Amino acid sequence: MPYGPGFHRAGFGPDQENKTGYKVRITRLFSYLIPYKIQIGFALLISICVTALNLLPPRLIGLIIDSAVNKKQIIVLYKMCFLLLATYISVNILNGIKIYLMGKLGQNITYDLWQEVYRNVHRLSFRFFDESQTGNIMSRITNDVTAIERVIVDGLDTTIIAFFTLVGISIVLFKINWKLALITMVPVPVLALIAYLITVKAHAIYREVRKKMGEISALLQENISGIRETKSFVREEYEINRLEAKSNEYVKTNIQAIKLWATFSPAIVTATALGTFLVLLFGGKIAIETGNLSTGDIVSFLFYLGLFYQPIHQLNMVNHMLQHARASSERVFEIIDAEPDVKEVENALSLQKCSGEVVFDNVHFSYRKGVEVLHGISFEAKKGETIALVGPTGAGKTTIINLIPRFYDVDSGEIRIDGIDIRRYKIKDLRKAIGIVMQEPFLFSGTIMENICYGKLEATFDEIVNAAKLANAHDFIIKLPDGYQHQIGERGIKLSVGEKQRIAIARVILKNPPILIFDEATSSVDNETEAMIQQAISRLLKNRTSFVIAHRLSTVINAHKILVINNGYIVEQGTHKELLQKSGLYAKLYEIQWKRKPQQEVVKNIE
């Protein structure tokens, strides 16, 4: 476990999220529209045309009443009705084109955001993932990106139409009767004040909503990954109750937001009704007393009034989406803006031909500031040597091997490969020179061939087969229903422990690195499988500088040098015989772990 004493999960865990007060400007969200300005310009032009056309029907209806019906002009009625129909058809055709353009824009922006987030996730260092929950990261990449895309596309379109509609209708209303138009504006300042107050409170609530959704995603991911443990310990009800508790928190937080909008929405409806009341009251009064307003004018005014408050409804919904998106964008941009703690120096050196000589020189390291886990580690591994690391659980063995490929950077001291500090090399070149087989190898969902050629993507089929043969994997692979095209399931669930180990070894053989890091599996396998794995390991270690966290006696005996690690110190180093003669920690470990193993198994392992 890669944490020092007292280390607690931080970063994007449920307790720490958004405590930094991370803020995102709205302008940054809309900066993603810049590459599509031509497409947006065309959509904007259509929106202006649609808005202009939508202003015609109320006026046409008024003219039909005044100029056709009241004056009994049938020809005028036909003309006006067909013009009204043509307007409706034109609006719908243009809306169809606009929906396509904005839908395509939404997909492009979602793609851009996903790519940017995913690229930065791969750029980040291991420490980021140590301090983050996988499900929470997944929620940011999927749910939060979708919320952002929705407000950028739907929100932009709705806002543009609403703005032009409000401006256009306001001009028409004032043109019909400016006194009546002023009366209809009375509720607007009150609505604006209510909207502002609600927006301020809603943003904090929606930030909490997105956080709760991230916690649910993290819990689901963890539970599905650990479903075998859940069932084996009969903890189904316990896990259901955990999810129920998280879901209740999410629902309660969402209800707080619903209460806010439940206050604002009726206010808009009331304003609409009030406007209608005022128009009928004062408009009727003007028509009766002065005769300056016709029946058609009043009807047109009422239609325009309905259209006037409709954009306010729409802007209310956009504001709703915007608060969702602001909270989501803070979570997404936290990932995009996160900086890796392992960085490549300027003018970094290439590592094209690596001999494999590795030196640790007084290395100190801590996962958390002030809690050092490695103390002055110094040793040398010459080209082609096998270095075995042994020691109690939590002694620091895994930490040492994780420093070689710069998964983390040392606090002080140096790690040199071929005489040069590894921090001066290009990170990709450094890691290309190192092959890693962990105790529990990770296999990707897909075919066996895809997993093996992960070590060399351009490998030919013959190269893949040859690597599988050297790893003693070929024989079991060809017995599978689809051979090398056999689907192994998530994390290789359809393969046994021994089979997964041999696939992982084949993958590294195909990569053919000069430096090898190998954490031997402690899982129990049958003797035949054990012998095949051991033979594959021997081939893998041959002519490579190798660092092995050793669990097999044969590895320890055959190692050129054994490092005995305890509490972050190298307490002993030497060969198997030298360390036994010292009667120190290694001798005690030997007594506990290996001496009592059946003699025939020990001999078999050595062979």
Domain assignments of the chain as residue spans, ordered by start:
26-337, 347-433+514-607, 440-512
d(CA 180, CA 194): 24
Alpha-carbon distances, residue 304 vs 81, 288, 569 (angstroms): 18, 21, 81
What sign for the dihedral angle of Cα 70, 74, 75, 77?
positive
* Exposed / middle / buried, residue 342 (Cβ in 10 Å: 0-12, 13-18, 19+): middle
d(CA 519, CA 138): 29
| pLDDT of the residue at 358 | 93
Q: Which CATH architecture fits 347-433+514-607?
A: 3-Layer(aba) Sandwich (3.40)
DSSP H helices, 31-73, are 37-54, 56-63
| pLDDT of the residue at 352 | 83
Residue recorded with tokens 């009150």? 190
Check if 347-433+514-607 and 440-512 are the same fold. yes
Q: Kind of pairing, strands 412-417 and 420-421?
A: antiparallel
* Of 504, 604, 518, 502, nearest in space to 559 by CA: 518
DSSP H helices, 177-283, are 178-184, 187-225, 227-232, 236-278
- CATH class belonging to 440-512: alpha beta
Question: Which tokens hold the place of 66?
Answer: 């005044």
Q: Kind of pairing, strands 545-549 and 561-566?
A: unpaired
Helices 527-541 and 461-470, interaxial angle, to 10°? 120
| pLDDT of the residue at 7 | 30
pLDDT under 70 in the chain at which residues? 1-25, 203, 225-229, 231-234, 261, 264, 268, 272, 291, 521-527, 554, 593-607
Alpha-carbon distances, residue 467 vs 168, 276, 482, 531, 607 (angstroms): 72, 80, 18, 18, 22
Please state the pTM of the whole predicted model: 0.71
CATH 1.10.287.3510 fits 26-337, yes or no: no
DSSP reduced 3-state for 386: strand
